Amino acid sequence: MSIGPIEGDNNNRKNTWMAFTNIDSQQTYFKILYLGATGAGKTENLQAIRRATYLHGEVPPIVSPFFFEFLPLRLDPVENFFLHVHLFTCSPLAVRDSTVQETLYRGVDGIVFIMDSRLSAVEDTLNIYESFELQAPQLGISLQEIPCVIQYNKRDDATALPLDVLQKELNPHGYPHFEASALHHRGVKETLTGITKQLFLRVKA
Ligand SMILES: Nc1nc2c(ncn2[C@@H]2O[C@H](COP(=O)(O)OP(=O)(O)O)[C@@H](O)[C@H]2O)c(=O)[nH]1
Ligand SMILES: [Mg+2]
């Protein structure tokens, strides 16, 4: 199997979709950003993931400075490759400090957009994503190139909009999407697996 072109020093990472892979030791590292409006369910996703059974080895606590969270994980090996997944969460509009932005966005391999399914959240979600689309190129992120998935969270809520309405309003680019209720741990694993699979396929290509 041929695994993607970047080997060696982590400083060589491009700020696009290309994951860091060490072929000799068969380790692949993915940096995945969970982006979403405040209250969409990013922390709930991470908490559900921490309690999950599909992780490999010990799971550290979530590191949570003021504007973002960080959770480094090991997933079960795929095709003999050890998958290290570094999850970050942030609400794009909340992070204004350029040093924090640099830390968060540098070397990002994939993005999970966490979207609150409720009618009351749609306007906030649109604002967040429209401003992130504008901001992304300045952060070195090409939304045309980088793998992205959407998670429609809070599907359990009585005011959650139907899926076809959300798709029409919030997914003009046709990103893969997952329905979830992070509070009840539903759809969380599927979302993480969905983005990780896309990244692994790219590394293999
Ligand atoms: N009903 C419901 N509430 C949720 C769900 N996911 C998150 N929440 C709640 O929504 C609030 C905000 O979630 P949180 O994960 O802190 O949002 P964050 O700001 O994106 O990190 C919390 O009270 C969560 O318990 C869900 O799937 N269903
Ligand atoms: Mg949070």
- Written as tens digits, the pLDDT of the chain (205 aa) is 222 333 333 333 344 445 677 766 778 899 999 999 999 999 999 999 988 877 777 888 888 777 889 999 988 888 888 889 999 999 887 777 777 777 888 899 999 999 999 999 999 999 999 988 988 998 889 999 999 999 999 999 999 999 999 999 999 999 999 999 999 999 999 999 999 999 988 877 7
- Minimum CA distance residue for ligand 1 atom 12: 39
Residue list, CB under 5 A from ion ligand 2: 42-43
How many Å lie between the centroid of ligand 1 and the Cα of residue 151?
A: 13
Domains of the chain: 10-204 (3.40.50.300)
The answer to whether residues 31 and 86 touch, using CB atoms and an 8 Å cutoff, is yes
Six-digit token pair at 32? 């995945």
**pTM attached to this predicted model:** 0.88
> Ligand 1 pocket: which of 34, 38, 44, 116 to mutate (most atoms <8 Å of CB)?
44
